[in-house]
């Protein structure tokens, strides 16, 4: 056993940890030393979004102690910034131990003299963001690992605008958390009177806000019997999605019973992620049997949304995140314009790895479209920066996230479900489907095809391998890909763009981020980005072509798909 790892283990065996924890360490030391080493080889990092990791004992795991130490550091920073009068909101999702972690978080905050609004039971992440703003809190936490597998849990930290923290607060909180050297530095109990339980009243306030986002309530009323199938995939969506659809006037909603009960074991799926076809398969079957108009699914903390629709041949297909974003952005732009609600200072926001089709749509409609780094905290930060000068309408990213209106400052699948159903009703009122609308948009703005490949590198060597891959691309960028010249290299870590033909360079005016983008002379874009929450490196591919007529779609899409496949093979990313 490495000496540093053994020292950490010995500290837990001799420290103020529960006897059951020490017994588990002794068992692993005897029976599974490699597993024990992985649990202690490093400290679980409190990153710019908080904590996320596998649950279990050890410094590299999510447990009572790592949660408590993180909360103590965050509490110290909140009091540094705001003095003694600090309020926070705390929520949690359906995962195993999430309630315990949320109560632990609330107790530590309260023991530090901080007023805590703790949700009575599981709630969607976007409601936590909304509650922070509504209750005028200085911060907040939701205990969730979003769409990760069942063995994971996590801790997302928020600031007073309802968004996850950005500079300087993110880095400053990390510094404060790292100062907590021992569990003995944590105030665990003693502030119970500072905890207030919240629930139904906040639900109603949030739902009323979402209902106010509707652009065409009269269409929802006319199409009240739109046949909707919804699955919460064992998550928090069941607490609010049926209610919000009822508020929008939809009364023909069918819940996927096998996935309706919150369950941190996610018994019907491997990955509780609406991006995964397997997670949506039970819902798809139900949608087929009922001949539904639309299928929707949300992840465990209800910040991601997946959508299924019938194609022009009547076959059910799942839209990818880019397609969903295109439909939603276009609807908010187009419907607001038709309704006379659009303003000259309207703006929309997307991330740098989300389809460029949105930029094209915004440009054609004279709407400002801003590109930010991956993560909704950057969308939230831009809203705050532009407040009073430009009117935020919608934001989104390719990973199945949308944020409609500015009352919530994180991705919100609850409002997204309602909006997508309104969009389906709007198109049905015109006698067509959302799929047909998508094809029409391709004809109007160009056919954009995207794909994502994630390569997982687990264990102690994973991070080193991922770093080596990124450095290799930086040091030796390809001159051509798929026979097409690479015209630009955008390095967001160096904040530098470079024309690889002329040598001309320019500054990228975004915060540093470990992302590389290759822009090809034909408009193809390839992005490489290590995940901030998982041991993965992600590669995003985007190609585009002209589509002259709807009937040419299938053939044109095949050409784009073939191009992406050749690029993947050439870059050896299989």
3-state secondary structure of 92: strand
Dist CA 44 CA 21 (whole Å): 17
CATH level 3 topology of 222-445: Alpha-D-Glucose-1,6-Bisphosphate; Chain A, domain 3 (3.40.120)
Instruction: Provide the edge-to-edge strand list for the sheet that holds 346-351.
Output: 368-372, 346-351, 391-397, 401-404
- Contact indicator for 150, 364 with CB cutoff of 8 Å: no
pLDDT tens, residue by residue, 267-320: 999 999 999 999 999 999 999 999 999 999 999 999 999 999 999 999 999 999
pLDDT tens, residue by residue, 36-90: 999 999 999 887 778 999 999 999 999 999 999 999 999 999 999 999 999 999 9
Q: How high does pLDDT run on average in the chain?
A: 95
- Determine the pLDDT at residue 464: 85
- Determine the pLDDT at residue 336: 96
Q: Residue 396: which pLDDT band, with cuts at 50, 70 and 90?
A: very high
CATH level 3 topology of 447-570: TATA-Binding Protein (3.30.310)
Residues 6+ positions from 547 with CB-CB distance below 8 Å: 439, 442, 443, 446, 447, 553, 556
Element spanning 322, H or E: helix 321-339
Q: Is the peptide bond before 168 cis (omega within 30 degrees of 0)?
A: yes
User: Which residues does residue 530 pair with via DSSP β-bridges, in sequence order?
Assistant: 537
Residues of the chain with CATH 3.40.120.10: 45-204, 222-445
Mean pLDDT of the 118-145 span? 98
Q: Which tokens go with 362?
A: 């915004």
Mean pLDDT of the 142-160 span? 95
- Determine the pLDDT at residue 533: 62
- Determine the pLDDT at residue 45: 86
Dist CA 230 CA 244 (whole Å): 12
Q: Which tokens go with 5?
A: 């790892």
pLDDT tens, residue by residue, 360-384: 999 999 999 999 999 999 999 999 9
Q: Minimal CA–CA distance to 535: which of 149, 83, 209, 196?
A: 149
Q: In 95-216, which residue ranges form alpha helices assigned H by DSSP?
A: 98-111, 125-134, 169-179, 200-211
- Contact indicator for 326, 333 with CB cutoff of 8 Å: no
Dist CA 166 CA 171 (whole Å): 8
**Please, is 130 exposed, middle or buried when counting C-beta atoms within 10 Å of its C-beta (0-12, 13-18, 19+)?**
buried
pLDDT tens, residue by residue, 535-562: 789 999 999 999 999 999 999 999 999 9
- Determine the pLDDT at residue 383: 97
Reported pTM: 0.94
pLDDT tens, residue by residue, 244-255: 999 999 999 999
pLDDT at residue 532 above 70? no
- Contact indicator for 311, 317 with CB cutoff of 8 Å: yes
Catalytic residue among 98, 107, 129, 146: 146
- Per the annotation, the verdict on 146 as an active-site residue is yes
Mean pLDDT of the 423-444 span? 97
- Contact indicator for 305, 402 with CB cutoff of 8 Å: yes
Residues of the chain with CATH 3.30.310: 447-570
Pick the CATH number of 45-204 from 3.40.120.10, 3.40.50.620, 3.40.980.10, 3.40.50.1220: 3.40.120.10
Element spanning 514, H or E: none
């Amino acid at each position: 056993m490495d000496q540093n790892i053994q020292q950490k283990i010995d500290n837990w065996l001799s420290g103020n940890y529960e006897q059951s924890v020490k017994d588990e360490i002794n068992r692993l030391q005897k029976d599974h030393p490699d597993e024990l080493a992985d649990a202690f080889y490093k400290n679980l990092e409190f990153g710019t979004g908080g904590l996320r990791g596998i649950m279990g004992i050890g410094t590299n795991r999510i447990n009572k102690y790592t949660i408590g130490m993180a909360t103590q550091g965050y509490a110290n920073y909140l009091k540094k910034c705001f003095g003694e009068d600090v309020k926070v909101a705390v929520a949690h999702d359906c995962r195993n131990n999430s309630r315990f972690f949320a109560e632990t978080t609330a107790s530590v905050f309260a023991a530090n003299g901080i007023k805590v609004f703790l949700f009575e039971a599981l709630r969607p992440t976007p409601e936590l963001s909304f509650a922070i703003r509504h209750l005028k809190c200085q911060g907040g936490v939701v205990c969730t690992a979003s769409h990760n597998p069942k063995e994971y849990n996590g801790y997302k930290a928020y600031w007073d605008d309802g968004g996850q923290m950005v500079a300087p607060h993110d880095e400053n909180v990390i510094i404060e958390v790292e100062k907590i050297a021992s569990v003995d530095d944590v105030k665990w109990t003693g502030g119970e009177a500072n905890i207030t339980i919240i629930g139904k009243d906040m639900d109603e306030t949030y739902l009323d806000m979402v209902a106010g986002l509707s652009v065409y309530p009269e269409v929802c009323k006319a199409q009240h019997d739109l046949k909707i199938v919804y699955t919460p995939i064992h998550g928090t969506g069941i607490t609010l999605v049926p209610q919000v659809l009822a508020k929008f006037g939809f009364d023909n909603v069918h819940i996927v019973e096998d996935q309706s009960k919150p369950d941190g074991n996610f018994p019907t799926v491997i990955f509780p992620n609406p991006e995964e076809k397997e997670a949506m398969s039970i819902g798809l079957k139900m949608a087929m049997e009922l001949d539904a108009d639309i299928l929707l699914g949300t992840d465990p903390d209800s910040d991601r949304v997946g959508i299924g629709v019938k194609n022009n041949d009547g076959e059910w297909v799942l839209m990818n995140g880019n397609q969903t974003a295109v439909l939603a952005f276009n609807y908010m732009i187009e419907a607001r314009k038709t309704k006379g609600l659009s303003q000259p200072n309207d703006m929309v926001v997307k991330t740098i790895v989300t389809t460029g089709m949105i930029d094209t749509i915004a440009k054609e409609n004279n709407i400002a479209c801003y590109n930010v780094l991956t993560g909704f905290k950057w969308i939230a930060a831009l809203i705050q920066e532009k407040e009073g000068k430009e009117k935020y309408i919608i934001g989104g990213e390719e990973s199945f996230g949308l944020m409609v209106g500015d009352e919530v400052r994180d991705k919100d699948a609850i409002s997204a479900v309602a909006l997508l159903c309104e969009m389906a009703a709007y198109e049905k009122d015109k006698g067509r489907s959302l799929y047909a609308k998508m094809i029409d948009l391709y004809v109007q703005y160009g056919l954009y095809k995207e794909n994502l490949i994630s390569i997982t590198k687990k264990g102690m060597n994973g991070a080193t391998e991922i770093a080596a891959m990124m450095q290799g691309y930086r040091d030796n960028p390809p001159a051509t890909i798929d026979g097409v010249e690479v015209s630009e290299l955008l390095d967001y870590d160096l904040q530098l763009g470079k024309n690889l033909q002329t040598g001309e360079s320019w500054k990228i005016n975004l915060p540093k981020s470990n992302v590389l983008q290759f822009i090809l002379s034909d408009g193809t874009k390839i992005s490489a980005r290590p995940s901030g929450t998982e041991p993965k490196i992600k590669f995003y591919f985007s190609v585009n072509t002209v589509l002259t007529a709807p009937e040419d779609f299938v053939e044109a899409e095949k050409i784009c798909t073939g191009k992406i496949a050749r690029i993947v093979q050439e870059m050896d990313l299989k």
